[in-house]
Amino acid sequence: MRLFKFSILLLLITSCNAPQAVYDYDQDVNFSQYSEYALFPDFRTGLSQLDEARLIESLKTQMQAEGLSLSEDPGIYVNVYTEKFEQDNRSRVGVGIGGGGGNVGVGVSGGIPVGQMDTYLQLTFDFIDVENDALIWQAVVESPFSFNAEPQERQQRFSKIVEKALAGFPPKK
């Protein structure tokens, strides 16, 4: 029973830190026709140069695992853009005062946040058909991200994000 409780707690903690993805795609597209890709000509993620290089490295590795190769004459362009936001998941310390007498009571309380806001990255992966210049597949991934992390940790986080994003490609119809 103790092991069961520990397993549930561990699952809860790890699931809160995992990237979350949402997918959308054009249902009329035959995705098996695509075997080569290139980065969008105006590829700008909004990340620092070092983080963008980490993201591109993770993307190349995962695309190769999906059976797509980098090419000068691609079938699809890949574009990625990011948005940083903060979410308030901080604990709070409650402080209150109150008083009363008889059958009447009055109280005032408030919470004081403890800790820092959580930083998240939202990455949008667009796959664009080169010939038709049309968006054919998209993944939006939200993930906690620490800009103070070591380079190896950042690379691992980008690898998890890209893996989660490409888990929905090609779409299962």
pLDDT at 94: 64
| Averaged pLDDT in 10-residue chunks for the chain of 173 residues | 50 59 93 94 90 95 94 95 75 65 70 67 95 95 90 95 93 78
pLDDT at 160: 95
pLDDT at 172: 81
The CA distance from 76 to 69, in Å, is 11
pLDDT at 30: 93
Strands annotated E in the chain: 20-25, 36-39, 69-70, 76-87, 91-101, 104-114, 118-129, 134-144
pLDDT at 58: 96
Q: Where are the alpha helices (DSSP H) in 17-150?
A: 49-65
Q: Give the architecture (CATH level 2) of 33-88+118-168.
A: 2-Layer Sandwich (3.30)
pTM above 0.85, yes or no: no
